[in-house]
């Protein structure tokens, strides 16, 4: 049994049928990339797993337990962390408070702060600064740190390199690679090179469906099939 088993989920935004029977799996110890053009349903797949946009049909089994029908906070309690596309800082809270908020049980706060500051030392210097005043790169570091410090058994990472300067992308990629050694990741990433570097396997989505999958070891950024799927 896989750590995460998404089976034939159908998700709607109002009348719009966004996910039309998506199925995928993430095993313990692996990084899985979810590839596809903008608007094909990658983020909605993550939101459906997290029960932020609950699927109307299908099931999401995590560590042997059904998540469909549970509250989003219970999904987090079950051990799924989320690093969202738009970073979603609590901009009026300072850096330290953002990290504290990611440890709801409270016991692990000192260790969480240390983990975050070791991963991104700049955050230690900015601990008392409001998150809304950070640069885009620092906000992304904080978003990743927040995902790493939670007591998570799986991370859903959505477009971590979006809008970042090349040097910051390198730092973020390194942090995710380090994280991947300890925690499985489901990754949505537009930069194919970064996705293939990080992931062991990949799924390709189009029009709310999984249309292809494979091992990253067997493809490259020049792969015609992948480039066709991902081209606008």
Partner 1 sequence: MIDHLALGAIDLLTSPGDLSSVIVEGLAKASLYLMIATGLTLIFGLMDVINFAHGAFTMYGAYIAAGLMLALVTAGMGFGTVMFIFIVVLALVFVLLAALGTVLEVTLVRRLYEYPPIYQILLTFGIAITLEQFMRMIVEFRNINNGQWNFDWASPRRQTLPSELGDAELLFIQFTNLQLFEIMLGALTAVGIWAFLNKTRYGLFVRAGVEDEEMAKALGINVQRTFTIVFAIGSGIAGAAGVILMWDPLWSTSVPLALDVLLPAFVIVIVGGLGSFKGTVVASLVVGMIDALGTWAFTTGVIQFTGIDELMIFTILVVTLILRPRGLFGVEGMGDHG
Contact between 97 and partner 1 per CB under 8 A: yes
Range in contact with partner 1 (rule: CB under 8 A) among 11-19, 96-104, 207-215, 216-224: 96-104
User: CA–CA separation, 84 vs 147, rounded Å?
Assistant: 9
User: Can you tell me which of 14, 15, 64, 106 binds partner 1, judged by CB under 8 A?
Assistant: 106
DSSP, collapsed to helix, strand or coil, labels residue 123 as helix
User: Can you tell me which of 104, 121, 136, 193 binds partner 1, judged by CB under 8 A?
Assistant: 104
Pairing verdict, β 31-35 and 80-83: unpaired
Tokens of 159: 């477009």
Whether 229 and 204 have beta carbons less than 8 Å apart is answered as yes
Nearest approach in angstroms of CB 215 to partner 1 is: 30
Tokens of 2: 């896989």
Range in contact with partner 1 (rule: CB under 8 A) among 71-79, 116-124, 161-169, 191-199: 71-79
> For residues 100 and 207, which CB has a smaller minimum distance to partner 1 in the complex?
100
User: Can you tell me which of 52, 56, 165, 217 binds partner 1, judged by CB under 8 A?
Assistant: 52
> For residues 71 and 125, which CB has a smaller minimum distance to partner 1 in the complex?
71
Contact between 69 and partner 1 per CB under 8 A: no
> Which residues does 170 contact at the CB level (< 8 Å), separation at least 6?
none
Range in contact with partner 1 (rule: CB under 8 A) among 97-105, 120-128, 194-202, 217-225: 97-105
> For residues 126 and 146, which CB has a smaller minimum distance to partner 1 in the complex?
146
Contact between 111 and partner 1 per CB under 8 A: no
Whether 196 and 220 have beta carbons less than 8 Å apart is answered as yes
Contact between 93 and partner 1 per CB under 8 A: yes
> For residues 12 and 90, which CB has a smaller minimum distance to partner 1 in the complex?
90
Q: Which helix (H) or strand (E) holds 12?
A: strand 4-13
Contact between 200 and partner 1 per CB under 8 A: no
Residue 218: CB atoms within 10 A of its CB come to 9
Contact between 101 and partner 1 per CB under 8 A: yes
Whether 192 and 226 have beta carbons less than 8 Å apart is answered as yes
Burial status of residue 124 (CB atoms within 10 A of its CB: 0-12, 13-18, 19 or more): middle
Q: Where are the beta strands (DSSP E) in 63-194?
A: 65-66, 80-83, 154-158, 185-188
Q: What residues make contact with partner 1 under the rule CB under 8 A?
A: 50, 52, 71-73, 75-77, 82, 84, 88, 90-93, 97, 100-102, 104, 106, 146, 150
């Amino acid at each position: 049994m896989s750590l995460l088993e998404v089976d034939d989920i159908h998700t709607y935004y109002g009348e719009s049928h966004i996910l039309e029977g998506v199925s995928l799996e993430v095993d313990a110890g692996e990084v899985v990339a979810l590839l596809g053009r903008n608007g094909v349903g990658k983020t909605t797949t993550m939101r459906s797993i997290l029960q932020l946009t609950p699927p109307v049909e299908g099931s999401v089994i995590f560590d042997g337990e059904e998540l469909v029908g549970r509250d989003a906070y219970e999904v987090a309690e079950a051990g799924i962390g989320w690093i969202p596309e738009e970073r979603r800082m609590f901009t009026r809270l300072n850096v330290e408070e953002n990290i504290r908020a990611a440890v709801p049980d409270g016991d692990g706060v000192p260790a969480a702060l240390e983990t975050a500051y070791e991963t991104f030392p700049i955050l230690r210097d900015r601990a008392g600064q409001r998150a809304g005043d950070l640069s885009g790169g620092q906000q992304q570091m904080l978003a990743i740190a927040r995902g790493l410090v939670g007591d998570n058994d799986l991370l859903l990472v959505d477009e971590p390199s979006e809008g970042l300067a090349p040097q910051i992308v390198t730092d973020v990629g390194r942090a995710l690679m380090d994280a991947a050694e300890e925690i499985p990741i489901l990754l949505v990433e537009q930069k194919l090179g970064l996705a293939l570097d990080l992931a062991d396997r990949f799924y390709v989505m189009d029009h709310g469906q999984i249309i292809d999958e494979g091992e990253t070891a067997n493809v490259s950024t020049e792969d015609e099939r992948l480039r066709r799927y991902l081209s606008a």
